[in-house]
Every structure is written in C-alpha cells, then in structure tokens.
Amino acid sequence: MAAPTLTESATTLNDRLLQRYVEAVDAENLRLLYQDTRLSGLFVATASESYLRSKVRIMIVGRDTAGWKGADAVPATGAQIDVAAYLERQMAYHRKKVGTVKATSTFFQFYRRVAQMVAAPDDRHLKDAPVWANLFCVDRNKSRPDRAPGPASARILDLSARLLRIQIAVLRPELIVFTTGSSCDSYLKSHYFDSLLNSEVHNPKRLWEFHIALADDTGNAFTVRAFRTPHPRHRASDDARAAVVAEALSPGAIARYKESVGRPSISGIGLTPPIA
C-alpha cells in the first residue's frame, strides 16, 4: 500500500513528531549517550509546509550530521534533563537550518536541486520542500559515530534507527533517497527495518532500490519506495541520483538509467543547475 495522503498541517505533524520523540528518548538514554563528550547534539528531523504542498513528498537521508549544534546543545549529564524541552530546541534548530544552510557542501547542493524540482511554484524560494533526515542521529568528532568504542555504538544505532522509523511513520514520504553509500547497507538490511521488499540492485554500489514496509502513526500499514545512492560528493553517481528524482516526477527514468549504465551520461534526466 502506498504512502497515504497527508491532510495535517506541518505544525500538527511536528507536534506529533515531538510526542513520538519524547517517547523514544528518555533522560537516562541521553545521560548514557552523552558520557561520550565527543558526540554532537541530537539531530531530529522536522517537516515544512512546503513538504506538504510539494509535487512528491521526498525524504533525503544523509549519513551523519558532520557537526551539529555543538556543546551548547548537549544536555548536561550531571543535571536534571528536561527531555521534551531539549528535543523541542533541537527541532527548532533543524527547522531553522534546513532552508538557510549555505550550499557549500555537495549534499546541500543536491538537496536544493531536489527542493527546486519538487516544490510547488510558490514555495521554491523557501528551499525546504524535502524532509532532511540522517541515518545517524549524532556525529562523533564530526564524523560517523558507529565506530565508537564499547556499548556506545550500539546505543547510537538503536536510537538512530528508532528516530528514523518515527520520522517515516509520521511524515509518510512517498519516496526516500538514502545518500548513505554502500558501507551502511548492512544497517538498513538488518538493524533499521524488519524487512525490505522488492530489493533490486540497478547498478552495484551506485543504485539500489527497495521498499520499506511500516505502520504509520495511526497503525495503518504502508510501503515507501526507496533508493540508496552514494553521497553526492561521489560525482560519478550523479546520473543515478538524477534518475531517482526524475522517476519520482515521471516514471520511466530508472528504466532508462538501467539501459544506460556504463555510458558516460543519460540524456534527459539530469538535475537542474545548483540553486544558490
């Protein structure tokens, strides 16, 4: 079953996200997590009104935050932690950053190209139509946190998986683009989701398609079409990412990509120029 239609406002969805986040993140969990002082603040995704009005509801999943609201965002482990207030502050930071981050990174160049393509015409200037999520909810020394010593890595993976599943269940995207690279495929297959359906590798390491089966926030089952590509810094995979976005807007681009694998480029499915 495809992702259901959304009738709620972004405010309502973000309120529901906060409620689910609070259920998933307790004070003891945060205390244990931030015994490692090299972790960033917690990354929790939100949705914009542009997302709800977009031609296709797309979630773009990066790997890690590579630095996210530094020490002032990390809850004091020796003090009483107001989890709801902390999470609300982190959500507000996410909403602020999505449309205002300078497009100096290849990830945000890709994000803004997609935003330009899928946003309703009156929303294009906002640059925030796709949901920006991350595979890992924290980074460690501005890098991937899954190599932390001892039990810390398992705690990070468990919380990251829980938060990403919440984001998908509440926001119900119609398409998810994981720009996480093949080195994280094992997490998607065995840790984040119970089962991945209709799995097909269109181009080894460059383009993998699958469907995620989940229950939405009201308990109704639905599936989401998803693709995993390399990080946008891997320019040799630009055609793969372009095909994914083009497929969302006009089915057939993936078939053309598969026919063209090995050729220098694919005519007619490229992304628009970078948006400043």
Q: For the range 5-10, what are the long-range contacts, defined as Cβ-Cβ under 8 Å and sequence gap of 24 or more? A: 6/52, 6/57, 6/171, 6/172, 8/52, 9/49, 9/52, 10/46, 10/47, 10/48, 10/49, 10/51, 10/52
**What's residue 77's pLDDT?**
60
In a domain, 128, yes or no: yes
In a domain, 276, yes or no: no
**What's residue 145's pLDDT?**
81
**What's residue 118's pLDDT?**
96
**What's residue 36's pLDDT?**
84
In a domain, 192, yes or no: yes
Buried b (16+ CB within 10 A) or exposed e, 43-71: bbbbbbbbbbbbebbbbbbbbbbeebbee
In a domain, 1, yes or no: no
**What's residue 3's pLDDT?**
59
In a domain, 2, yes or no: no
In a domain, 269, yes or no: no
Kindly give the confidence (pLDDT) of every residue in the chain, 276 residues in length, as a single tens digit, with 9 standing for 90 and above.
455 678 899 999 999 999 999 999 988 888 888 888 888 889 999 999 999 999 999 999 999 887 787 556 677 666 678 889 999 999 999 999 887 777 778 999 999 999 999 999 999 999 999 999 999 999 888 888 887 666 778 889 999 999 999 999 999 999 999 999 999 999 999 889 988 999 999 999 999 999 999 988 788 899 999 999 999 999 889 999 999 999 999 999 999 999 888 654 443 444 443 333
In a domain, 46, yes or no: yes
Report the C-alpha gap between 6 and 113 in whole angstroms: 24
- The sign of the CA dihedral 40, 46, 179, 120 is negative
Number of domains in the chain: 1
**What's residue 262's pLDDT?**
64
In a domain, 5, yes or no: no
Domain with 215 in it: 10-260
**What's residue 78's pLDDT?**
60
